Structure 1
Amino acid sequence: MLAGPWVPPAVGKAPYLWLLSLNFFVWKYFYIRPTALELALLALTVIVFVPMYFSSYWLRNRRLVPVLLATFALGVAWAPFNFGACTFFIFGAAMCAGIENRRYAYATIAAILSGAALIALVVDLPLSFLMPTLAVGVPVGIASVMDATLKRKHWQLLRKQEEVEHLARIAERERISRDMHDLLGHTLSLITLKAELAGRLLDRDPEGSRREIRDIETNARQALAEVRSAVSGYRQTGFAHELAQARAALAAANVTLDANIEPLTMPATAESVLSLSLREAVTNILRHADAKRCEVNVTLKDGLLVCHIRDDGSKLDSLQALEQGNGLRGMQERVASLGGQLRVEVVRGLSLELRLPMGGFA
């Protein structure tokens, strides 16, 4: 305890300087010689008060009440014998800064100073006691409460900023997790299909096998670039590029893609969501559907960007297999973040319908 810190580091060194106000308490003895008993009581008072003073910077609300009462009691005990006892009432008013409810803090200041004034009237103390108590105690008490309130609001703001930054980091990690799943899941499925095809063509069509291997290299390089782009938070490829990639991936699996895209200008955020949703849908077709045909329709209807993605796969007979993975969940989170809706059905294959509000984007 003696090693410190005696006060919270946030309040600085000012509390140590305020202790110099105890000079008022000993001012009397510069011109009146104290008795041995009085000198002993004086030293005992300082020894008792100083720890209480420093502890007041650590205590809050109800835990501060005993210190306030003890400080007030010291002022009451010394007031009839030493006009410098007014300093204890001033210290008590300043300690009210530890009461976080300002109404209660100001009421406590009023009670302390009113008590001091009452004692001055009852004991018939001189104005040299009453005037400093009220003239200094009122502004010091109010200023201390206001300063403490501002500091608490400042720290609350800092904590809220830290919480926002923490939530932003969590959201960014989730975004990267979703993007990595979509990017790598799609590309690795495509690479797997092309590798299998290259293996089948190796003996009967070496040139076709080499062509598929070159495509694997190209797709691997493109996946690396997309991963770097996703980590950096930038999306340079649009829906048209993603549609072309989907057509190539499905063609490698002997799946025909029919696209009907209404000419329109998509907001960047909506285009990113549609691109990643198409990528995830194609990945699911390659993994689960055993489909022969896929349809993609994008239209603008009643201020909503509507995207339908359907396939005629036969393997997927329920949503259970998809709900266990991260792809569909990530798609739902992206759509919901833009205030849109996602409807998923399994009827003669998988059917996805995304509805995104065009007016909700900047």
Structure 2
Amino acid sequence: MRQSVSRMRSLFKKLDQRLLPKNREMDGSLPYVTLIYLAFYCFPLFFQLPSFGETLLIVSALLVFLFLYFHLHWLSPRKRWRNLLFMWLLGISLSPWYSGGISFIIYAAAMSCLLENARKAALAILLIASATWLAGTLLNMNQSMLYTALFFVLMVGPMNIYLVDLGKKRRALDLSQQEIKTLAASAERERIARDLHDTMGHAFSMITLKAELAGKLIDKNLEAAKQQIKELEALSRDTLAQIRDAVTGYRRSGLRSELVNTKMALETAGFSFDSSFQSCELSEKLDDELALILRELTTNIIRHSNGSHCEVNIRQVNNTLTLEVTDDGNNASIEAGNGIAGIRERLHPFGGKLTITTGQQTRLLIQVSV
């Protein structure tokens, strides 16, 4: 059984490599899932059996459509309009005598999302809708069928534009986060190497000197040699503690470190960024939690904000720490989710509170007693 499943997976992988490019805009198996809607193309056959000639024409049209569909993914965005045009022509030619033909018209609108940008995709959808209405009127297409086609063209097309744009943003975010992790890891490795070099270089020099001195004194002045050995022991313990501190600092990611990651992530996503950080006395646990909160807010801004500028201000006034994140996007629905509940849960053990202000800009203010 397992061997059969493995063979099927291997076969599908080879078929996928032949049918679709590796780097495609539609993620994973989505291009194949989308073909499920071809069931509507075949649906009229259950109600009226066509002649042999009509059946041959219907099957031939389906094969031509499948070629246009898969070939479209291999083309550059600038050249894809040709395949969309042929899909539409195929659908409009079939529709007057075979109602399943409107499926190809809808597919042409749905696949417009793969053009160069959202503006051109929206223009293509409007052209498809207008041309369909004009051609359907001239060809005396059934009115209910014509309006059904127009409804799905204007519904599915924009929805696919949004989904593809969301996928691009997610891939860009994943890539930027991966780059940030790589850069952060590299910076931390350099820091730990520098700290260990400074700590251990000095410490081992002192240990060597004291060991040599103790060796020279052991036959001449035993008490002085014992004193040097005691100092050597204390120095070794102190060095070990410093090494542990350096390693602990390597493992933790505090608020200041996360602010650097925030800057890199937002600038990678196309935002301009300003920040201010006033030194604060925080416990390790609160420092780590605030770093995670800032990371969550940064992710939300990249995914959901329609703005272009973000500002982060961290300051402490008396015994209150304030973390303020502002962006110039207008997101009135931010209260509904976007990780806000999780942020409030993180703040609860520290008695912190989150205040959200929306309007011409979105402002999130976190206040915690320290």
Which category of TM-score, normalised to the shorter sequence, fits these structures? 0.5 to 0.7
| Residues 7-43 of structure 1, C-alpha deviations (whole Å, 9 max, x = no match) | 8798576655543433443444444442222212211
| Residues 88-130 of structure 1, C-alpha deviations (whole Å, 9 max, x = no match) | 1111111122235211110111122222223223323231342
Partner of 2:274: none
CA contact (8 A) 1:120 1:129 kept: no
Structure 1 letter corresponding to 2:227: R
The alpha-carbon deviation at position 58 of structure 1 amounts to 7.2
Partner of 1:40: 56
CA contact (8 A) 2:42 2:100 kept: yes
Give the match's secondary structure for 1:50. helix
1:53-64 alignment, distance < 5 Å = 53=69, 61-62=77-78, 64=80
Partner of 2:173: 157
Structure 1 letter corresponding to 2:186: I
| Residues 293-330 of structure 1, C-alpha deviations (whole Å, 9 max, x = no match) | xxxxxxxxxxxxxxxxxxxxxxxxxxxxxxxxxxxxxx
Give the match's secondary structure for 1:97. helix
Structure 2 letter corresponding to 1:144: N
CA contact (8 A) 1:24 1:87 kept: yes
Partner of 2:349: none
| Residues 253-287 of structure 1, C-alpha deviations (whole Å, 9 max, x = no match) | xxxxxxxxxxxxx9779xxxxxxxxxxxxxxxxxx
Structure 2 letter corresponding to 1:232: T
The alpha-carbon deviation at position 59 of structure 1 amounts to 6.3
Quick one: which of 170, 174, 189 aligns to 2:205?
189
Partner of 1:130: 146
Give the match's secondary structure for 1:34. coil
Partner of 2:12: 3
Gaps of 5+ in 2: 1-9, 251-278, 283-369
CA contact (8 A) 1:83 1:128 kept: no
Normalised by the size of structure 1, how large is the TM-score? 0.57
CA contact (8 A) 2:44 2:100 kept: yes
Change (3 A) 1:110 1:61: same
1:1-362 alignment, distance < 5 Å = 3-4=12-13, 5=16, 11=27, 16=32, 18-53=34-69, 61-62=77-78, 64-99=80-115, 101-233=117-249
| Residues 190-210 of structure 1, C-alpha deviations (whole Å, 9 max, x = no match) | 112222322333443232223
Distance across 1 between alignment mates of 2:248 and 2:106: 58
Percent identical among aligned pairs is 35
Structure 2 letter corresponding to 1:21: Y
Structure 1 letter corresponding to 2:204: L
CA contact (8 A) 2:199 2:242 kept: yes
The alpha-carbon deviation at position 77 of structure 1 amounts to 3.2
Gaps of 5+ in 1: 235-265, 270-361
CA contact (8 A) 1:105 1:145 kept: yes
CA contact (8 A) 1:25 1:85 kept: yes
Partner of 2:366: none
Distance across 2 between alignment mates of 1:225 and 1:165: 28
CA contact (8 A) 2:81 2:115 kept: no
CA contact (8 A) 1:84 1:129 kept: no
The alpha-carbon deviation at position 230 of structure 1 amounts to 0.8
Number of residue pairs matched? 240
The alpha-carbon deviation at position 132 of structure 1 amounts to 1.5
The alpha-carbon deviation at position 55 of structure 1 amounts to 5.8
Distance across 2 between alignment mates of 1:67 and 1:10: 17
The alpha-carbon deviation at position 65 of structure 1 amounts to 3.3
CA contact (8 A) 2:26 2:164 kept: no
The alpha-carbon deviation at position 189 of structure 1 amounts to 1.4
Distance across 1 between alignment mates of 2:76 and 2:248: 46
Distance across 2 between alignment mates of 1:17 and 1:159: 26
Which range moves more in the overlay, 161-170 or 45-54?
A: 45-54
Normalised by the size of structure 2, how large is the TM-score? 0.56
Distance across 2 between alignment mates of 1:105 and 1:10: 15
Change (3 A) 1:140 1:183: same
Alpha carbon RMSD of aligned pairs, Å?
A: 3.4
Change (3 A) 1:10 1:121: closer
Which structure is larger by alpha-carbon Rg, 1 or 2?
Answer: 1
